Structure 1
Amino acid sequence: MIGQIRGTLIEKQPPEIVIDVAGVGYEIQMPMTSFYQLPAVGEEVTVHTHFVVREDAQLLFGFADKMERGMFRELIKANGVGPKLGLTILSGMSASQFLNSVQNEDVSALVAMPGIGKKTAERLVVELKDRLAKFGKSHDVSLPTLPMENTAGETLVPLNDAREEAASALVSLGYKPAQASKMVTGVYQSNMDSETIIREALKAAL
């Protein structure tokens, strides 16, 4: 299993990145809570990874810290939750927020995520509450620790492209195209880059 990758960040297209390691580019999908913490393209980065092998694909999922990766692994053990839905959940809320939602039986917060109806949210609470009680005690429940990107002096993505990129990322995370477009339009302000649009759109959805 590939548990960690360190190399040069060469592409950022939410929710996917590419890290160059000795000339090999690893495509990695990340929840937006980790994606926000990435450094600028061209800088060195280390991500904790989870490797998924399917009949038709081999996929890498990356996380800012072991807490988030651990939460992802617990999520995909739950009935009806695959890697894509796990990625969506951890894009809308941090690992610690998800843990708190389950422990407090806050079904409404979970239902705000695309692909999660009331019955699924209730099942997640039942299945994960006891398991995550131990999880919380054995992990550092904190925000991702990757260095924040310094965008000073960087050229922003053109406005239309930023909105389109944000909407595309939301669709990749499970939102329907019309819903993603509405979410982007609802939060967009002048000079926002795509990552900021996505962050604000996901925050508004909760």
Structure 2
Amino acid sequence: MIGNIRGILLEKQPPEVLIEAGGVGYEVQVPMTSFYELPEVGQEANLCIHFVVREDAQLLFGFANKKERAVFRELIKASGVGPKLALTILSGMNAQQFMQCVSMEDVTGLTKLPGVGKKTAERLVIEMRDRLSKLAKEQGYADTVHLSADLPIENTFVQRTDAKEEALSALLALGYKPPQASKVINSVYTEGVSSEALIREALRAMA
């Protein structure tokens, strides 16, 4: 099983990155909250990995730290939540924010994420409340954490399309509907903004 990858970051096309390690290029899907913490293309990156093997594919999901990966692993144990939805949830809020939503039974906050309806949000709270509380105690996390909309955006990456197209592609990959994604991108777009910053602002606007 692959648990960690350290290598040179070759490409950043949210929510996927390409990392070369030992002469092999690994395609890794990364939630946006972890994506923001990646270095620039050409620099060394390190990701905690969750490896999924299916009949038709072998998928790698990468995270900035073990906490994000641990919450992802708890998410995919929940009824009706697969890796794609878990990735979307951890793109709209980081692990600490998700844990707080569950702890505070904030169903409304969870339903703002694409693919999470009221029933799914209620089920997440019921199924994951005790598990996440146990995880917090086992790994030394605070039971409740401060919700912050600010996420690091210092890093930029080489853009293969313009900022709006890059951002739209990322939001669609995360499960947002085209009309919703286009509308919010246009509302937060400013001249000269990077794709990464635009994605961040779009996700914040939909929170």
Same-fold status (TM-score > 0.5): yes
Contact 1:67 1:140 in 2 (8 A): no
With over 3 angstroms needed to count, the CA separation of the structure-2 counterparts of 1:148 and 1:178, relative to structure 1, is closer
Contact 2:38 2:155 in 1 (8 A): no
Matches within 5 A, 1:60-71: 60-71=60-71
> Which residue does the alignment assign to 1:201?
202
Give the alignment's TM-score, normalised by structure 2.
0.91
SS at match of 1:191: coil
Instruction: Give 1:169's aligned amino acid.
Output: A
Structure 1's unaligned 5+ residue stretches are none
With over 3 angstroms needed to count, the CA separation of the structure-2 counterparts of 1:150 and 1:179, relative to structure 1, is closer
How many Å separate the matches in 1 of 2:49 and 2:154?
20
SS at match of 2:162: helix
> Which residue does the alignment assign to 1:174?
175
With over 3 angstroms needed to count, the CA separation of the structure-2 counterparts of 1:77 and 1:150, relative to structure 1, is closer
How many Å separate the matches in 1 of 2:202 and 2:122?
24
Matches within 5 A, 1:10-89: 10-89=10-89
With over 3 angstroms needed to count, the CA separation of the structure-2 counterparts of 1:195 and 1:148, relative to structure 1, is closer
Instruction: Give 2:6's aligned amino acid.
Output: R
How many Å separate the matches in 1 of 2:107 and 2:155?
36
How many Å separate the matches in 2 of 1:178 and 1:35?
24
Give the alignment's TM-score, normalised by structure 1.
0.91
| Cα distance per residue 1:134-180 (max 9 Å; x no partner) | 1112235489xxx97555xx8x748x711101000000000111211
SS at match of 1:28: strand
With over 3 angstroms needed to count, the CA separation of the structure-2 counterparts of 1:132 and 1:29, relative to structure 1, is same
SS at match of 2:77: coil
Identity among equivalent pairs (%): 63
How many Å separate the matches in 2 of 1:171 and 1:50?
22
SS at match of 1:6: strand
Aligned-pair distance for 1:23? 1.5
Contact 2:7 2:20 in 1 (8 A): yes
Aligned-pair distance for 1:86? 0.2
Aligned-pair distance for 1:55? 1.1
With over 3 angstroms needed to count, the CA separation of the structure-2 counterparts of 1:116 and 1:148, relative to structure 1, is closer
SS at match of 1:105: coil
Q: Which has the larger displacement, 108-117 or 173-182?
A: 173-182
Contact 1:37 1:64 in 2 (8 A): yes
The two structures, once aligned, show a CA RMSD in angstroms of 1.9
> Which residue does the alignment assign to 1:5?
5
Instruction: Give 1:91's aligned amino acid.
Output: S
> Which residue does the alignment assign to 2:121?
121
How many Å separate the matches in 1 of 2:200 and 2:155?
17
How many Å separate the matches in 2 of 1:136 and 1:40?
31
Instruction: Return structure 1 stretches of 4+ with deviation > 4 angstroms.
Output: 140-143, 147-151
Matches within 5 A, 1:139-150: 139=139, 141=141, 149-150=154-155
Contact 1:40 1:149 in 2 (8 A): no
